[in-house]
């Protein structure tokens, strides 16, 4: 029987990010997927047109339905409001031994805001005790810590700040950091920081959904009993190859 992830997050009508990117990734790892949609968005590659949070009862029913099958890992993306955060928190309380990744989503890569400041703070307060790994990008890490997060050293500081606020582990994704290399920074409780470095790919920032793919890839690897540091490194390799492939396809289109 194939392993199964539960994906909790938003749909992106353009197919560039969100649930579509998650499902593509888990399929690449040979996983099945259960889905709980939190919000429906209309987007192009350049614009967020509209967003519609799913009614709370519908989100709750989707999560209840997922309990009918064995779930090997949980990846959480956009939670648009406090009510959806509460619902997911209560669900996570019932699955303490399942690897869970929180990939916070505050805005879309098509340049639109998806949550507000109150929701962002509440997200950490409610979910940090229950998740295996938090995976903010540099911009999200800056919002969550109220600190600059533009350099590698600032990313390390942000990751440590989030550990001190109760996260078990934090991976600050380095695509938005300055520097010749793209560096993901992993912080774990009572362990030295680790950096996973890759050469920057020209025009790599044009690829949407890379953060979704990275978090989902890590979740797949953790569900296969991979150690966290190894899962972060291998998932980074996977996304690096995806970016090169995606750019190649676009250049040939």
**E-assigned strand segments in the chain:** 4-12, 32-43, 48-53, 73-76, 100-102, 107-108, 112-113, 133-134, 169-172, 181-188, 194-199
Query: Which pLDDT belongs to residue 251?
Result: 41
Q: What pLDDT, in 10s, does the model give residues 163-186?
A: 999 999 999 987 667 767 778 999
Q: What domains sit in the chain, N to C, each tagged with a CATH number?
A: 4-252 (3.40.1190.20)
Q: What pLDDT, in 10s, does the model give residues 185-238?
A: 999 998 899 999 888 776 566 677 888 999 999 999 999 999 999 999 999 999
pLDDT at 10 over 70: yes
Query: Which pLDDT belongs to residue 170?
Result: 98
Give the rounded percent of residues in the chain with a pLDDT score beyond 90: 63
Indicate the pTM of the whole model. Answer: 0.92
Confidence of residue 85 (pLDDT cuts 50, 70, 90): very high
Give the rounded percent of residues in the chain with a pLDDT score beyond 70: 89
Query: Which pLDDT belongs to residue 197?
Result: 85
User: How far apart are alpha carbons 186 and 55 in whole angstroms?
Assistant: 35
**Residue 8, Ramachandran bin (φ over 0: left; ψ between -120 and 50: alpha; else beta):** beta
Question: Mean pLDDT throughout 116-121?
Answer: 77
Query: Which pLDDT belongs to residue 206?
Result: 64
Query: Which pLDDT belongs to residue 181?
Result: 78
Query: Which pLDDT belongs to residue 183?
Result: 84
pLDDT at 243 over 80: yes
Query: Which pLDDT belongs to residue 108?
Result: 59
pLDDT at 42 over 50: yes
Side-chain half-sphere CA neighbours of 48 within 13 A: 21
> In this structure, are residues 170 and 143 in contact, taking their beta carbons and an 8 Å threshold?
no
User: How far apart are alpha carbons 119 and 59 in whole angstroms?
Assistant: 17
The residue ranking higher by pLDDT, 18 or 162, is 162
């Amino acid at each position: 029987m194939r392993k199964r992830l539960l994906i909790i997050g938003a749909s992106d009508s353009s197919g560039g990010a969100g649930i579509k990117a998650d499902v593509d990734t888990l399929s690449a790892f040979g996983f099945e997927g259960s889905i709980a949609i939190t919000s429906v968005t209309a987007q192009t590659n350049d614009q967020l047109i509209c967003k519609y949070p799913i009614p709370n009862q519908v989100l709750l029913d989707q999560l209840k339905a997922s309990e009918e099958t064995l779930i090997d890992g949980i990846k959480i993306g956009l939670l648009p409001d406090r009510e959806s955060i509460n619902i997911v928190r209560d669900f996570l309380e019932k699955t303490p031994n399942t690897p869970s990744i929180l990939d916070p989503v505050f805005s879309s890569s098509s340049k639109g805001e998806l949550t507000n400041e109150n929701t962002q703070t509440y997200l950490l307060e409610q979910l940090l005790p229950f998740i295996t790994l938090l995976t903010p990008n540099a911009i999200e890490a800056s919002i969550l810590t109220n600190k600059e997060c533009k350099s590698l050293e600032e990313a390390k500081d942000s990751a440590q700040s989030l550990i001190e606020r109760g996260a078990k582990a934090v991976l600050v994704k380095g695509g938005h950091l300055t520097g010749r290399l793209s560096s993901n920074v992993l912080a774990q409780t009572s362990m030295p920081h680790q950096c996973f470095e890759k050469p920057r790919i020209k025009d790599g920032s044009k690829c949407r959904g890379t953060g979704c793919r990275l978090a989902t890839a890590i979740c797949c690897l953790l569900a296969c009993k991979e150690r966290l540091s190894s899962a972060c490194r291998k998932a980074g390799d996977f996304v690096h190859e995806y970016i090169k492939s995606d750019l190649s396809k676009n250049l040939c289109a």
